[in-house]
Structure 1
Amino acid sequence: MFRKSQVDTWVWKTGTDGEFSVKSIRRLWESSKYPELDYKHWWNNWVPLKVNFLCWRAVLNRLPSKQELKKRQVPIPSTNCAICNMAEESCEHIFIQCSWAADIWALVRDWCGIDFTDTYTVEQRISTSLKVGQNKKKKKTANAIVLVTIWTIWKLS
């Protein structure tokens, strides 16, 4: 029997408070699509949204590098890096391994004092930036600098 005093309500079960949010969708998607991914991307509201998205896609290796285009059978004359021509262009090469990118990271290291020793992936560089300094503002500033550096390398490569 139906009682007229009861009101139906919508409840979003993946949200912590029963409310729908884009954040809960992102968490659900990341946990189902990439369960092995220990990395949690911190969205930095001090940088444009497009910078956050690019960095997130770089961590997931979902950018159109020449290596990825080749996997998708896009005809390209060469998969070598257009800047150094020393290795196949992958996300890690573009942002970390290319000598040109390494020079940029050295400038960021000297300017900000961020120790990138033993950071060989985009994910590690971003995670390292979140450990700089004692307070939230320093961490967020360092993170913003690293995210914008990744964006700049992408736009210039």
Structure 2
Amino acid sequence: MEEVALGDMTDRWYWSLEGSGDFSVASVRKLIDDIRLPEVSSQTRWIKAVPIKVNVLAWKGRLDGLPSRLNISRKGMDITSILCPICDRKVEFVSHVFFACHVDKDNFQKICR
């Protein structure tokens, strides 16, 4: 059994990913990138001018990690249809919802005006 020596000092939080022991968002992002980069061709890059929820949505969309009907079906959940509920023509997957659905495109163009 190893002997433990306790020093006479105040307890503090220590972040083991940083050499300084201090927490940083950059160290967490680097850890995520190191784990995810073999699967993903781009690193997580947050755009500071937009809300964090938009950054996360774009990142999850890039990873095809959003709960589209196709993704829900792939996970074994029984759903009535994997067709897009908006246009009811094509399979609902992430790129269809954001870029290919003709109804969404029309709505997006109206919003952008």
TM-score with structure 1 setting the length: 0.52
1:78 aligns with 81
Once the 2 structures are TM-superposed, how far is the Cα of residue 96 of structure 1 from its aligned partner? Answer: 0.9
Larger Rg: 2
2:29 aligns with 26
Distance in 2, matches of 1:17 and 1:59, equals 33
Once the 2 structures are TM-superposed, how far is the Cα of residue 17 of structure 1 from its aligned partner? Answer: 6.7
Extract unaligned runs of 5+ from structure 2. 1-13
Alpha-carbon distance change, 105 to 19 in structure 1, aligned in 2, over 3 angstroms: farther
* 8 Å Cα contact 2:37-2:43 kept in structure 1: no
Q: Which structure shows the higher helix fraction?
A: 1
Extract unaligned runs of 5+ from structure 1. 1-9, 112-157
* 8 Å Cα contact 2:33-2:43 kept in structure 1: no
1:99 aligns with 102
The RMSD of aligned alpha carbons is: 3.0
Which 4+ residue blocks in structure 1 deviate beyond 6 angstroms? none
Sequence identity (%): 31
1:90 to 2:86 alignment: no
Distance in 2, matches of 1:105 and 1:42, equals 26
Give the SS at the match of 1:29.
helix
Distance in 1, matches of 2:19 and 2:96, equals 38
TM-score with structure 2 setting the length: 0.69
